[in-house]
Copies of this chain bind each other. A is one copy, B any other.
Amino acid sequence: MTLILGIDPGSRKTGFGIINQVGGKTEYVTSGVIRVHKEPNMPARLDLIFSSLVGIITEYGPHCMAIEEIFMGRGPDSALKLGQARGVAMVAGTQSKLEIFEYAARKVKQAVVGNGNADKDQVAYMVQSILKLPGLPQEDAADALAVALCHNYVHTGLINIAGATRTRRGRIV
């Protein structure tokens, strides 16, 4: 079995989702959203993202982390905030000795929906369908599960997406 932790980072909400690839089947394990907007300041928000992710990794023991590369259509201030959350999420993984895999959002959509320009509703719908969930997952959790599914497809050789970078303890493998 291979447990994959997908992450959709954000400075207010960070989505996470874990799937399990076992015996040719892909199973849903857990997902949710780390909400930090009530924390009084940015260091406290980032600390909560880090601690929550370390807690999730400790509880579920995923084998790797998949995270979206970020398309920066917004301004530098948003990029800085998003970068802070994303950096903290990645280090929660590296400090837990997880391999980190990065995928462009377009490639995640291509893998899960079959269309690199799919909208968020389509992604959530396909995530629900593939993982046989009883309802639509929350938006950030759906995006996190989607990047985990994308990694799973690449990892199991179902599709081959150019450009994913695989690292292990700081080395490309």
Contact = CB atoms under 8 A, between A and B. Distances in A.
A46 B172 contact: no
Contacts of A50: 91, 94-95
B79 A77 contact: yes
Interface in A71-85: 72, 74-85
A44 B79 contact: no
Interface residues of A, number: 41
Contact of A87 (B51, B83, B102): B83
Contacts of A79: 72, 76-77, 79-80, 83
Interface stretch (A20-28, A35-43, A111-119): A35-43
Interface in A111-164: none
A88 to B, nearest CB: 5
Contacts of A74: 76
Contacts of A44: 94, 167, 169-171
A44 to B, nearest CB: 3
B84 A167 contact: no
A82 B84 CA distance: 8
Contacts of A78: 76
A70 interface: yes
Contact of A46 (B42, B70, B94, B102): B94
A93 interface: yes
A86 interface: yes
Counting chain B CB atoms within 10 Å of each CB, which of A39, A83, A165 scores highest? A83
Interface of A: 39-44, 46-48, 50-51, 70, 72, 74-88, 90-91, 93-95, 100, 102, 165, 167, 169-172
